[in-house]
Structure formats: C-alpha cells, structure tokens
Structure 1
Amino acid sequence: MTWRGPTYRMVDGERIGGAWCHVWRRYRPDGEYYLDDLVVFADGAISCGEGTDLAGLAELLATGWLAATDPEAPPLPDEPSKWASRCGEPLTPEGFLLEVADRIEELNERPTAGQRCWDAIRRFQREPDESNRALLRAAYLSVPPHLRIYVLGDMDRQDRPLRILLTNVGEAVGGDGPVVTAEMHQGVLDYFGRGDEGVESEQEQRAVRHSDDPSEPGRPALVSHETVYPQGWPEQPGLFMLRNDFPARIVFAGESYASVLHGYWALSAADASDRGRIRDAASGREAHDLGGRAAHRSDWPDVRLAVMAGLVRAKFTQHPELAEVLVSTGDARISYTGLSDSPFWRDAPDARGRNWMGRLLELTRSELVARRLLRPEETPASGRR
C-alpha cells in the first residue's frame, strides 16, 4: 500500500492535513470493483466517495463495499516456509485498518506503531527482563502484520531478529524456524547494540560534516511578490526594492542602466540598435518587452546568469539604502515570484521554477554582510564610504 500526500481539507477556516491511497470500491451490491482514492485526515475523518471514520471504514471493508487489495487478483501461493520467506504477511482488512490508524497518528505527529516498537526495543535493551519482553511483544504485534518485516529497516534480516528475541528458548521461531537458544537471544541484543553504535558514529560524522550549519532555525521564507504601480513607485516601497524593475540606476560594464531589468535585456540583445532602445526604455517593463522581442546573443544562455549576478551586485553596492533593505532580511530564504519572469528566474510551484533571482539576492546579501565584517569603515552607519 503506497500512501501519497500531502493533501488537506478546510474546516471552519482550519487546515486539516491528510494523505491518500488507492482502494477498490464498488457502487452497488455484487457490482464490479473500481480503483478509487481513500483520503485520511488528521482529525480521523476518512473520505472515499462519502465521509466516514475508522469504525465506518471497518464496516465498509467487512461488507465488501471497499477492498484493500484487488479482489480479482489471484491469491498468492502459500510459502513453503514462514521462516525462510522474504515476503510479509498478506494485506488483510484488519491490517489495513491498523495502517490507516497509524497514518492518522503520523498526521498528528504522534508515534506510530513502528516507532512505539522501537521504543520498546530500547526499553528492553536497557532492562532485558521478561516484563519488558512482554511489552516488546505487544508493541511488535501492534504493527500491521504486512508491515512487520520493515519495522527494523533491515533489508537483509527483515524482522527476524525480533522474531528470535520474542520466541522462548527451546522453541522454534514461527514453528518452522531455528530452535532458539540463550546465545541467539544475546546475539540479537548484540545486533541492536551494533546498530546503535553505527547510528552514533553516523551522527558524529554528520555533526563534523555539517558543523557549519546554523545552530538556530532561520527566518521564515521571504516571498518577493511582483507588483505594479501605475502612478509611480511609493516613497517607501520597502521590500519591493528587491525587484529587478525597481528604478535604481546602475553602472555595469561601462554602461548606465535605469534598472537591473534594463541592463539585463539590453545586454541580451545581439544588435547594437536594439541594445540602445532597450537601455533607454521608459520603464523596466517596457525594457523587458523590447528585449523579449529582440534577437538574443548566441551565447546568452551561457552567460545570462553571470550577467544577472553582476547587475544585482552593482545595484546593491552602488545604492547603500537598497543594501540596507536586503541585509535586513537576515538569513531568510528569498522566494522570487511573479509571472513576468521565466521560471528560470522565479520560484514557480512546479519543477520548472529555479528561483535563480532569489538565490542571487541571497548570495549578494551574504557578500554585503561579509564586506561589512571585513571592512566596517564602509558601512553607512559609520558615516564614511
């Protein structure tokens, strides 16, 4: 069973998170089954053509209105040996109900049956007595049967170490497995111990490799919205100063441009006359339109990112008041949105969105901060430049 998400529904203005999977449903008694979506929400509501809950889902499964597996699929052959089998238990309605209940716990950020099983393993490691082994057995059996082979995350041994540990000494695991000895129980404890050592070692290595990560959470993402001011920019445009069409005259590569957008599209043009018309356009938007219609330089796809980086750097180094606005965003991720720019530059809600403008703004911000740290006499607050 594969779960997908996220999804949600709104209840009284509150967003309720959810996830969904496929089930088989029929619309009339003794009718054919059709593939449908079963959606589970954090508040316990379940939707599959109609609203219900866990108890209602149990009834739908019991009466045959819903099925967790394809009813027309041929039954799987019996495994010759339960111990030697590499397959999990078959998915049953009861197991599916347990899995749905687990998904609700996960949506509420509460421990799932698998996580509770690991908690019981840790408890048994600390105190390997019979009472804790009984608790571990109960935790293991609460995992949906078809998912138990995955509970340890071990593709080779699957859940066999747990099955050994939960079998009494002198008994065969599952009836057809090896007869358990005290040494085998100790071997399982050693197995878990080696796993813990491996996890600790990996955590130590990660701490070393990621030692430059910020120790505190960063600021929430900052979204730079595209905007239009038909009557001219306001006296205090605030974060709209970050936009490429904001009028801030810059000098770049020996030419003067009224905005980053003027410079970018002028430099993209193959013909000198087009470059002049774009450079002298009345607004950034007009420069964009003219540049989009002009023939581009043949090397433009290869150099456009470097050109834009240089223009953005010129804008904020040549205008200290704009640099103050950019630096004030701290370490927030900058999402540069809109519709006018191509997905290469903006943060689009699909795989096409590269958000290169947001990245260049973040890079320039970092350069400005580093420059102030290395050359504090150049900061505007010092009164000297």
Structure 2
Amino acid sequence: MTWRGPTYRMVDGERIDGAWCHIWRRYRPGDPYYVDDLIVFADGAITCGDRTDLAGLRKMLEQGRLAVTDPALSPPPDARSKWSSRSGGPLTSDGFLLEVADRIEALAERPTAGQRCWDAIRRFQQEPSEAHRELLRAAYLAVPPHLRIYVLGDMDRQDRPLRILLTDIGEAVDGDGPVVTAEMHQSVLDYFDEGDQRVQREQERRAVQFADDPAEPGRPALVSHETVYPRGWPEEPGLFVLRNDFPARIVFAGESYASVLHGYWALSAAEASDRAGIRDAASGREAHDLGGGAARRKDWPDVRLTVMAGLLRAKFAQHPELAQVLVSTGDARISYTGFSDAPFWTDAPDNRGRNWMGRLLELIRSELVARQLLLSENPNAVGADGLS
C-alpha cells in the first residue's frame, strides 16, 4: 500500500497523528467494490466509513467488506523461483494487517517491525547462538511479507542474507535456492560486520563535514502571517512587528520612511516624483500600491535584495525593542506568508515561493545575536555589520 499523510484528529484537545491509504470497500456481499480511504491513528483507531481497530479491520477483511487489492484484477502468477525472484511477496490480508499494525507503531513513535528486526540482527552479531537465531527468525517473520525485501535497505541483495542465515545448514534456501553451509552463515555475519564498518566510516566522515551542524533540533517553524488592523495596530503587536508594513520609522540612505514597505517601494521607483509620493503615503499598503504602479529602476532586479536587507538592518538597529522580538524567535525557521507580496518574498504554497523575507529576517536575527554577544564581551566594541 502507498501511505499518505500527515492527517490527524483531535481528542480532548490532544492531536492524534494519523496516515491513510486507499482500500477497496463495499457495503454488503454482492455489492460492487469502490475505492475508499482507510485512516489509521497513533492510538490504534482505524477509520474506513466506521471507526474500528485492528480486530475490527481483520473482521471486515474476512467478511469481504474490504479488499487490499483490486478484486476486478486477476491475481499475479506465482513466481517460478522464490529464491531468484526480485519481487516481494504478494499483498495479502494478513500482510496488510501487519503493515497497518506497523504503521500505528510508527505513528506512536514506537519501534517498527523493521527496527525490531535490526535489533535482533545486532543481538545475533554479538552472540550468534541458536536462541538468538530463533529470536531473529521471529522478528523477520513479523515484517509484512510483501515488505521483507526492503528490511535491510540493500537493493542488490534485498533480504537474501537473512533468508540464508535463517535456513539450517544442509537445507536449500526457500526450497529452490542454494544449500546452506557453515561458510555461508559466516559470510552473512561478515556482510553485517562490513555494513557496520561502512556506517561507522560514514558517520566519522559526516562528523567532520557537518562539524558546525547544531547538535539539538531547532525550534518549530514560525509562520509570519499577513494581517490587517483596520482600527490601527494593537498596543502589543507581538510577532507582527516583523511585517514590513509595521509602522516603525527608519532612516535609510539619507531619507526617512514610515515603514520598511515605504522605503522598499520608494527606492524601487525610477522617477523622483514617484519616490516622494510613495515615501509620504498614508500607509504601507498604500505605499505598496503606489510603488507597484510606478515605473521601476532598470537595475532593480539586481539590487532589490540588498536594498531590502539594508532596510531591515535599519529597522532593527533603530528600534531595539523590535530587535528583541526578532531575537526571541531563537533559531526557528521563519516562513513569511501573505497575499500582497510577490512569491519571491513569501513562502507561497505552490513551490513558487522563495521566502526571501523569511530568509533575510533569519540573517538579520543572527547578526543581532552576534552583535549582542560581541557587546557582552566588549561593551566598547563597535559592530561592523551596520547594526551598531
């Protein structure tokens, strides 16, 4: 099955994450099947028309109310050789139930069947006893049959090393494969050891290459929404001070502007008369409309990022209280959204968005933090980044 997500439901104010896939469903025996959504949640609840659980899902499959493959299609022919087949086993109701149970484990952030199989592999590597081989066998068989070829993440050998290891010496793998020897069992252990060594070398290489990567995960993304206040901005606008139309007068390149938006669109205009009109506009939105309708400087595409960065630096350098709001966002990614700004500046949902405003705000934030650290160590230091 192809699982999609994310989805969720709310229970007593708590978000329960879920995932969904398509399944064939019918109301009663004899009715035609149709494609429906089967949704599973981290707490074990399952929805397909009715709310149920794993036991209920099994019953619906046994009764023929649900089907995991298109009932109108003929079943695929059996593989002529299980050992040489490059495909996973066919999707069955039992295999699908194992897959659903595994999906619930993943949503609940518990070990999946594949992870438990790897844990069993590690135990057997450390102590290759018969008891540990039986535990490995049970862990491998708990993986949905149609997904077992993927459990080792090896596109070439697939799950063959495990199938060799779980076959007794003197027996043929899968009944039609090679007869297993003690040397073959040892070669599988060597295969896992070599894989561990490659992983260790890659981890050591990445430790050097990613030496400056933060050890801890960052804050969740912060979304800066476009907001209209017809009666004026509130006394405590909070994160809305990050918006370019927020009224914070700045001096930049020898001129005074009522907001970043005033400065940006005034400086984009080719004619001095247009620049003056935009600069003196009653609001940021009006400055935007005037600027958008004015003739643009020929070099504007090449300099607009530099101009915007300069305006933002001026805003937060000249208004320390606003700078503290920006710094308070920590290392969160800033997603700058809005319908009034071009996708070049915003985090538009259709993949056209470049989110340059969010990226510039993150840059200015890092400069502010660096300057604060510099001043804490040397109060007489003068920053060279334009924020002093």
Question: TM exceeds 0.5?
Answer: yes
Q: What amino acid is the match of 1:140?
A: Y
- Report 1:20-39 matches (<5 A): 20-39=20-39
Distance 1:295 1:30 in 2: 70
Whether the aligned pair in 1 keeps the contact of 2:9 and 2:17 (CA below 8 Å) is yes
**Residues 330 and 54 from structure 1, CA distance in 2 versus in 1: closer, same or farther, beyond 3 angstroms?**
closer
1:97 alignment counterpart: 97
Whole-angstrom CA distance in 1 between matches of 2:281 and 2:75: 72
Indicate conservation of the 8 Å contact 2:374/2:381, yes or no. Answer: no
Cα distance in 2 for residues equivalent to 1:79 and 1:230: 70
The yes-or-no answer on 1:40 pairing with 2:40 is: yes
Q: CA deviation at 1:16?
A: 1.3
C-alpha contact 2:281 2:287 (8 A) present in aligned 1 = yes
Give secondary structure in 1 for the equivalent of 2:59.
helix
Cα distance per residue 1:100-128 (max 9 Å; x no partner)? 11111111011111111111000000000
User: Alpha-carbon deviation of 1:310?
Assistant: 1.8
Contact 1:372/1:379 (CA < 8 Å) preserved in 2?
Answer: no
2:124 is the alignment partner of 1:133: no
Equivalent in the alignment of 1:199: 199
Q: What residue number does 1:340 align with?
A: 340
Farther-moved stretch of structure 1 (355-364 vs 86-95): 355-364
The residue number in structure 2 matching 1:255 is 255
Q: What does residue 167 of structure 1 align with? A: 167
Match of 1:156, SS state, is coil
Q: Give, as a single letter, the amino acid of the residue that structure 2 aligns with 1:98.
A: L
CA distance in 2 between partners of 1:221 and 1:34 (Å): 39
Question: C-alpha displacement at 1:66, in angstroms?
Answer: 1.0
Paired residue secondary structure (2:40): strand
Q: Distance in 1 between matches of 2:78 and 2:226?
A: 62
Q: Deviations over 1:131-176 (max 9, x none)?
A: 0001001111111111111111100001100000001111110111
Q: Distance in 2 between matches of 1:244 and 1:331?
A: 20
The residue type equivalent to 1:289 in the other structure is D
Please report how far the alpha carbon of residue 311 of structure 1 lies from its aligned counterpart in structure 2 after TM superposition: 1.3
Percent sequence identity over aligned pairs? 80
What amino acid sits opposite 1:193 in the alignment? D
Q: What amino acid is the match of 1:332?
A: A
Whole-angstrom distance in 1 between the partners of 2:27 and 2:16: 28
Counterpart in the other structure of 1:65: 65
SS of aligned partner of 2:9: strand
Judge which range, 283-292 or 96-105, deviates more.
283-292
For residues 20-67 of structure 1, the C-alpha deviation after alignment (integer angstroms, 9 at most, x for no partner) is 111112234223222221111112111112222211211221122111
Q: After TM superposition, give the deviation of residue 192 of structure 1 in Å.
A: 0.2
Count of paired positions: 381
Q: Secondary structure at the match of 2:322?
A: helix
Answer whether contact 1:372 1:378 (CA < 8 A) is retained: no
Measured in 2, the distance between the counterparts of 1:88 and 1:115 equals 19
Aligned-pair distance for 1:230?
4.5
Paired position in structure 2 for 1:367: 367
* Equivalent residue, structure 2, for 1:10: 10
Question: Equivalents in 1 of 2:11, 2:350: separation in Å?
Answer: 27
Cα distance in 2 for partners of 1:217, 1:85 equals: 42
Following the alignment from structure 2 to structure 1, what is the Cα–Cα distance between the partners of residues 239 and 10? 31
Q: Distance in 2 between matches of 1:318 and 1:13?
A: 42
Bigger drift between 192-201 and 49-58 goes to 49-58
1:10–1:318: structure 2 CA closer, same or farther, 3 Å change rule?
Answer: closer
- 1:68 Cα deviation after fit: 0.5
User: 307-316 vs 162-171, which deviates more?
Assistant: 307-316
Match of 1:48, as an amino acid?
A: C
Structure 1 range deviating more: 367-376 or 304-313: 367-376
> 1:370 deviation in Å?
2.9
Counterparts in 2 of 1:189-268, with a 5 A limit?
189-233=189-233, 237-268=237-268
Q: Kindly report the root-mean-square deviation, in angstroms, between the aligned alpha carbons of the 2 structures.
A: 2.3
1:189-246, CA deviations, whole angstroms, 9 ceiling, x for partnerless residues? 0000011111111111111111101233434444434444445445654443322122
Match of 1:155 in 2: 155
One-letter identity of the residue aligned with 1:194: E
* Mapped partners of 1:244, 1:194: distance in 2: 55
CA drift of 1:374 comes to 4.8
1:272-291 Cα offsets, whole Å, 9 max, x none, are 32222101112222212222
Q: Secondary structure at the match of 1:38?
A: strand
Greater shift, 283-292 or 251-260, is seen at 251-260
1:56 is matched with which residue?
56
SS in 2 for 1:9: strand
Q: Report the AA paired with residue 189 of structure 1.
A: L
Moved more, 93-102 or 203-212: 203-212
Question: Distance between the aligned counterparts of 1:26 and 1:277, measured in 2?
Answer: 67
Please tell me the residue identity of whatever aligns with 2:316.
F
Q: Which residue of 2 aligns with 1:286?
A: 286
**Displacement of 1:341:** 2.6
Structure-2 separation of matches of 1:138 and 1:324: 57
- TM-score, normalised relative to structure 1: 0.91
Q: TM-score, with normalisation over the residues of structure 2?
A: 0.90
Mapped partners of 2:219, 2:32: distance in 1? 53
CA distance in 2, matches of 1:323, 1:152: 50
CA distance in 1: counterparts of 2:56 and 2:98, whole angstroms: 14
